[in-house]
Amino acid sequence: MLECGPEEAGGRVDLWTSERTGLSRTRVQRLIADGWVHVDGATPMKSDPVEPGSRIEVLVPAPQPVEAVPEDIPLQVIHEDHDLLVVDKVAGMVVHPAPGHPRGTLVNALLHHVEDLSGIGGRLRPGIVHRLDRDTSGLLVVAKTDEAHHALSDALRRRRVKRLYLAAVWGHLPESPLDVDAPIGRSRTNRKRMAVVAEGRHALTRLRVRERWESAELLDVALGTGRTHQIRVHAAHLGHPVVGDDLYGPGWERGMSGPDQGWARELARRTPRQFLHATRLAFKHPTTKVEMRFHSPLPDDLERVAEWARQVRSP
């Protein structure tokens, strides 16, 4: 535990911590982003000033060696050619190895399936152009060559890759369609969560009601940007969290009253995971320039939930 003296106050917390600990500023910034630095018990932003008397706690996690190795894991490949693959990821699969998830990831499966992947993503993320959360199912494009990786990443930045999701959210939106334009950054109180914060990165999500259920709705969701947990954070920010989302909307159904409460609790009981599926993906092929369009219907676990919700009404 470090304490800031009066003569040290006023500087940025990342620079101050770097000078006091001997860690590089980049390392300290990463520790702050991951929630390992606390100022008076709260997680700071890297640019926050250090006040006189502040107590700064710096935790440095032990290094965990992680290596991406080929594994014979089944993959649902929707399309494959010389430049890329389109994969329909199952729920529960992490996209790339990381501490806590060294094996069983999409990258491990890809390394077994493909002789050589684009190296631009680094040794733990070869070929990965964009990601899906572990419990989100659906379509992903993976680059097999560096040229394809550059082109697809550039198209993603220019918003020329169209991604459409199906999401069930609690309650009913005030209007449809509805654009959510709210910046997203790391939560100051929980390093595992993202949040709408003024200093966050620009994030745009477009919502449209596809089906209106008793106490929830099935939405078409289009991404204008691609921030971490974007759909889940924006839905929760609106007060309509994704059904089954244990991070951003746990126990939402318990707050309901009246005849809808029983319906909502039964929907929650029937939903095995967060109700979020990447259903459509469209982009221009990086080599042929042909427009590529792919569709993945709701997987069986979520389709069963939707069928129940369509048919059952509150008593």
DSSP track, the chain? -EE--GGGTTSBHHHHHHHHH---HHHHHHHHHTT-EEETTBPPPTTPBPPTT-EEEE--PPP-------------EEEE-SSEEEEEEPTT--SS-BTTB-SSSHHHHHHHH-S---STT-SSSTTBSS---TT-EEEEEEESSHHHHHHHHHHHHTT-SEEEEEEEEES--SSSSEEEE--EEE-SS-TT-EEE-TTSB--EEEEEEEEE-SSEEEEEEEESS--TTHHHHHHHHHT-PBTT-TTTSTTGGGG--TTHHHHHHHHHHH--S--EEEEEEEEE-TTT--EEEEE-PPPHHHHHHHHHHHH----
CB burial string 140-149: b at 16+ within 10 A, e below:
bbbbbbeebb
Residues acting as catalytic residues: 133
Judge whether 133 and 244 are in contact, CB under 8 Å. no
Query: Which of 102, 49, 25, 45 minimizes the C-alpha distance to 71?
Result: 102
Do residues 87 and 75 touch, judged by C-beta distance below 8 A? yes
